[in-house]
């Protein structure tokens, strides 16, 4: 399976994603340049973390208009998988692939830490190798990670099982202490209505080796293989 | 065509948590401005554009706000009247 990783000016987790795909799960990966209109036959698109366009105006607001994004949106609308991590999540929201927005962290500080997230739905393209309720450890590194949406949208996301990950504490409980950025309802990751776009602030691609503190992210990538190949 | 200048004010959507505004409000109170009730921090953008008339320029900038300058989920915007640039 071929993973296409988009590089925007300011992306800085594209290489991490490339390495996780090629070295950890042993699949093919290729970089996609933001100015191109070519997905190079990729089966899965990764919008990686970073600070595309310097976060000018709003995080993700300018990247959304990169030429490649027209092709990424078309790929998503046709049901193609898109994994949007961190800045990628911000871009996906700005591009309308996912509802809501990511705002400045409630404490105003950049947060770089390992967090715990709980799997809320294990029946998705991205989580089928996890168990519901399982607690994963992954790093976060962001200044604008507070997920917000209108109460109606939040209710709908929860009712439809589209809230895939929530921030929890060591005991697995949802609480303000476990929330690294003030996200509504401790939301760490959501999927699109069709289920083929996942946006999340934590970095699964940087949680792919015990040497890095956690390999809980590996099964997220392998879940895509399991589902897309099936 | 004439050149117009339009100022745009973008503010956090009312009712949404505005941590930046709260931090500035608290700092003002610490400075002794005890009467401060609320502060909101937004963006001020100046657009210069060619247009047939002021109304057209304002319509165009409103469209710019809806499509890029403001986030429809989290922000409100107001534009000022177009003035010749």
Here the CATH number for the domain that contains residue A111 is 3.40.50.880
Active site residue A114: no
Judge whether A40 and A32 are in contact, CB under 8 Å: yes
Q: How many CB pairs under 8 A join A and B?
A: 35
What's the number of domains chain A is made of?
1
* Full residue range of the structural domain in which residue A166 is found: 2-229
Q: List C-alpha distances in Å: B72 to A88, A215, B68.
A: 19, 37, 9
* B2-84 under CATH 3.30.1280.10, yes or no: yes
Determine the distance in angstroms separating the CA of B73 from the nearest CA of chain A, rounded to an integer.
Answer: 6
Give the Cα separation of A168 and A217 in Å (integer). Answer: 16
ipTM of the complex: 0.83
State the SS3 of chain B. Answer: CEEEEEEEEEEECCCCCCHHHHHHHHHHHHCCCCCCCCCCCCEEEEEEEEECCHHHHHHHHHHHHHHHHCCCCCEEEEECCCEEC
Instruction: For residues A71 and A81, give the distance between their C-alpha atoms in angstroms, rounded to a whole number.
Output: 13
Predicted pLDDT of residue A131 = 98
| pLDDT(A57) > 80 | yes
pLDDT at A230 > cutoff 70: no
Nearest to A104 among B19, B69, B71 (CB): B19
**pLDDT tens, A109-140?**
999 999 999 999 999 999 999 999 999 999 99
- pLDDT values of chain B reduced to their tens digit, one per residue, 85 residues: 999 999 999 999 988 889 999 999 999 999 999 999 999 999 999 999 999 999 999 999 999 999 999 999 999 999 999 999 9
Q: Which of A103, A191, A111 is nearest to A147 (CA)?
A: A103
Average pLDDT value for chain A: 96
Question: Confidence class of residue A176 from pLDDT cuts 50, 70 and 90?
Answer: confident
pLDDT of residue A35: 94
Best residue in B8, B18, B19 to probe A by mutation, most A CBs within 10 Å?
Answer: B19
Mean pLDDT of A98-113: 96
């Amino acid at each position: 399976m071929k993973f296409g990783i988009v590089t925007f000016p300011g992306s800085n987790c594209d290489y991490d994603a490339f390495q996780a795909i090629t070295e950890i799960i042993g699949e093919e990966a290729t970089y996609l340049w933001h100015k191109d209109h070519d997905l190079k036959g990729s089966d899965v698109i990764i919008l990686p973390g970073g600070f595309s366009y310097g976060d000018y105006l709003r995080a993700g607001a300018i990247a959304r208009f990169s030429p490649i994004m027209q092709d990424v949106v078309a790929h998503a609308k046709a049901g193609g998988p898109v994994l949007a991590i961190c800045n990628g999540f911000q871009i996906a929201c700005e591009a309308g692939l996912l509802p809501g927005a990511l705002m400045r962290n409630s404490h105003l500080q950049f947060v770089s830490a390992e967090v715990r997230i709980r799997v809320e739905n294990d029946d998705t393209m991205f989580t089928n190798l996890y168990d519901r309720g399982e607690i994963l450890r992954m790093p976060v590194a962001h200044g604008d990670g507070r997920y917000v949406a209108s109460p109606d949208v939040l209710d709908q996301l929860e009712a439809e099982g589209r809230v895939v990950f929530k921030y929890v504490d060591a005991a697995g409980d949802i609480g303000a202490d476990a929330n690294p950025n003030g996200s509504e309802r401790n939301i760490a990751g959501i999927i699109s209505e069709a289920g083929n776009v996942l946006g999340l602030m934590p970095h699964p691609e940087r949680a792919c080796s015990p040497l890095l503190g956690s390999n809980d992210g590996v099964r997220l990538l392998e879940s895509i293989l399991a589902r897309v190949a099936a | 065509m004439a050149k117009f200048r339009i100022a745009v004010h973008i503010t956090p959507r009312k009712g949404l948590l505005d941590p930046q505004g709260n931090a500035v409000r608290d700092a003002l109170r610490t400075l002794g401005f005890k009467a401060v009730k609320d502060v909101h921090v937004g963006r001020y953008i100046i657009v210069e554009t060619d247009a047939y008339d002021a109304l057209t320029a304002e319509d165009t900038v409103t469209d710019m706000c809806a499509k890029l300058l403001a986030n429809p989920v989290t922000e409100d915007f107001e534009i000022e009247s177009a003035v010749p640039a």
